[in-house]
Amino acid sequence: MGVETTYGERRGCVHILRANAAKFIILCAALIALAALLSGPAGAAQRRIIVLGDSLSAGFHLPEQDAFPAQLERFLKQGGLDVAVINAGVSGDTATAGLARLEWATGDGADLVIVELGANDMLRGVDPRETEKALEAIVVSLIKRKIGVLLAGMQAAPNLGADFAVRFNAIFPAIAKRHGLVLYPFFLEGVAAQPGLNLADGMHPNRDGVAVIAKRIMPYVLKALEQQTGQQK
């Protein structure tokens, strides 16, 4: 037997369906507009993003498809963007080590480089002045090559002392401000100190943790791509 509904109930259901449909249409329109803005005219080249980082972005103890570059690429493609995100992360790299391999790690044809370095400097207690010097050199080199930069920040562990934390944490916003970069303040935002989002070592994100990072950083990636596109015009 069917269930008879009143006129008021039917009217309420129609109202809900219309409201949800409107929200869906608005979301689709926003994604289409953003994709059109970043992809350019038909036949435009695929956007190439390189992640220059350490084990946090390289995918420490994770399958390649679960690492940050692969997950970020999937999310961006789901949003309608034609992108390739290349994993140029090396476990254990400091900012100075990243600088040393910058040229061959980024190669030619990159539209954007996500710079995710500094965590190992912090863990090893490297003088923040040395870390800043290396990150500054990386940024300057990329800008000279007309490559967009998204700077991913890091925060010092509390056991390193207040003085070190103040000096280290100030590195990333200072560099971003000097060069007008898009800054993602803390790469591990929403993941750090969350047992369910990290491997057993408590330091490296697991697959779910990486997904959180990739989703959170997406708006910053889109903003950096848009900024890079504007600078090329």
Active site residue 141: no
Active site residue 179: no
Alpha-carbon 165 to chain mean position: 23
Active site residue 201: yes
Active site residue: 54, 93, 111, 204, which one? 204
CA distances from 101 to 106, 166, 181 (A): 8, 28, 21
> Of all helices (H) and strands (E), which one includes residue 131?
helix 128-144
Quick one: residue 104, left, alpha or beta (phi over 0 = left, psi -120 to 50 = alpha)?
alpha
Active site residue: 55, 93, 111, 121, which one? 55
Rounded to 5°, the CA angle 111-130-113 comes to 10
**With 0-12 CB in 10 A as exposed, 13-18 as middle and 19+ as buried, what is 41?**
exposed
d(CA 118, CA 51): 14
3-class secondary-structure state, position 202: coil
Give the catalytic positions in this structure: 55, 201, 204
